[in-house]
């Protein structure tokens, strides 16, 4: 009887020593894999959200810095002009000891321009409203406006707004300061060319002709656009040459402008085609350039 009991105890001990079965082990492995997969997905989602938060914060921080920079530019410009006025010889006093109206108005111009710029920057004033406010002092205020375009503005919308404002001011007020911008590099001269395009004055557009051989292809295209908008035939060869630009967007702009000049005819040219595929169309455009294109604005 003792031997039987001892045998049962030994069998029980051996069974316990064997541990979990194969099925239980595989079930535990599957569960562990599922937990690892779930943890990995959670970590990836948290990482993605964190990166998105960092990107959003960075974009907001850059925007705030851009707005601060614009404010500093405006304030610095106004301060410099006020200092210049303060150091100028005092004007003669009127009969009752007051400054003449003209001098008083001149002293107020920097503040008026600053007010307009702040309104445009905050979008509480339209370009039309700004042009109306500056109309009577356009000659004096234009240098302050063009100076804005020489600054490293990160806000493209604000740059476009200044361009639009200058495009709505009288031609005689913007002619010299805008022409002076053409000698400056980068976006500054591009802005000047666009303003000249918007005024569409043939005499003013002639100032662009000395830049027709600029190595900057984008600048040349804007010049060509400004010239034809001003009915200046010097822009036609520029647009035809742009049909062979390496930049797809430049080719699209050029053919769109040329098609309008040519009564809707494009000679089968397609901006999406290769230079070889457009060979026949280019030959026709070259012929048009030297013929009808050359005479396009001669009687206008």
Give every CB contact of residue 127 below 8 A, 6+ residues apart in sequence: 120, 161, 164, 165, 168
**Sign of the torsion angle spanned by Cα atoms 216, 220, 221, 226:** positive
Q: What would the pLDDT profile of 31-84 be if each residue is shown by its tens digit?
A: 887 877 777 777 767 777 777 777 766 666 655 555 554 555 555 555 555 555
| Confidence class for position 201, pLDDT limits 50, 70, 90 | very high
Q: Which helix (H) or strand (E) holds 218?
A: helix 217-229
What is the DSSP secondary-structure string of 7-53? HHHHHHHHHHHT-S-HHHHHHHHHHHHHHHHHHHHHHHHHHHHHHHH
- 19 vs 53 pLDDT, higher one: 53
pLDDT (0 to 100) of residue 143: 93
- What is the structure's pLDDT at 33? 78
Report the chain's C-alpha Rg in angstroms.
36
CB 41 within 8 A of CB 47: no
pLDDT of residue 3: 47
The pLDDT of residue 12 is 47
Question: What's the pLDDT band for 16 if we cut at 50, 70, 90?
Answer: very low
Q: Judging by beta carbons within 10 Å of its beta carbon (0-12, 13-18, 19+), is residue 143 exposed, middle or buried? A: middle
Quote the pTM value: 0.66
Cα–Cα distance, 16 to 3 (Å, whole number): 20
Could you tell me if 269 and 281 are in contact, meaning their C-beta atoms sit under 8 angstroms apart? yes
**pLDDT of res. 279:** 96
pLDDT band for 101, please (50, 70, 90 cuts): low
C-alpha of 66 from chain center: 13
Indicate whether 277 pLDDT > 70.
yes
Q: Report the sign of the C-alpha dihedral through residues 39, 41, 43, 46, in that order.
A: negative
Query: Alpha carbon 89 to chain centroid distance?
Result: 42
Digit-coded pLDDT (tens) for 175-193? 999 999 999 998 999 999 9
List the domain boundaries for the chain. 69-81+105-199, 202-300
pLDDT digits (tens, 9 = 90+) for 127-166: 999 999 999 999 999 999 999 999 876 678 889 999 999 9
């Amino acid at each position: 009887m003792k031997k039987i009991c001892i045998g049962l105890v030994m069998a029980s001990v051996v069974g316990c020593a064997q541990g979990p079965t194969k099925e239980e082990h595989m079930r535990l492995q599957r569960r562990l894999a599922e937990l690892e997969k779930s943890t990995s997905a959670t970590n990836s989602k948290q990482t993605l959200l964190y990166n998105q938060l960092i990107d959003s914060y960075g974009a907001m921080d850059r925007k705030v810095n851009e707005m601060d920079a614009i404010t500093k530019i405006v304030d610095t410009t106004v301060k410099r002009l006020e200092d210049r006025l303060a150091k100028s010889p005092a004007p003669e006093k009127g009969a009752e000891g007051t400054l003449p109206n003209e001098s008083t108005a001149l002293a107020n111009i920097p503040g008026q321009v600053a007010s307009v710029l702040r309104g445009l920057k905050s979008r509480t004033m339209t370009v039309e409203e700004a042009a109306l406010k500056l109309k009577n002092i356009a000659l004096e205020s234009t240098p302050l406006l063009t100076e804005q375009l020489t600054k490293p503005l990160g806000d493209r919308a604000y740059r476009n707004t200044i361009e639009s404002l200058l495009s709505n001011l009288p031609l005689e007020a913007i002619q010299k300061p805008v022409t002076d911008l053409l000698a400056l590099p980068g976006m500054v001269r591009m802005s000047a060319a666009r303003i000249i395009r918007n005024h569409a004055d043939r005499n003013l557009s002639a100032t662009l002709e000395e830049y027709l051989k600029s190595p900057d292809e984008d600048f040349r295209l804007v010049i060509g656009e400004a010239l034809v908008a001003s009915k200046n035939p010097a822009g036609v060869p520029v647009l035809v040459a742009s049909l062979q630009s390496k930049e797809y967007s430049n080719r699209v702009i050029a053919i769109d402008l040329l098609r309008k000049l040519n009564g809707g005819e494009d000679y089968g040219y397609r901006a999406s085609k290769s230079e070889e595929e457009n060979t026949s169309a280019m030959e026709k455009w070259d012929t048009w350039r030297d013929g009808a294109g050359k005479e396009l604005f001669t009687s206008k």
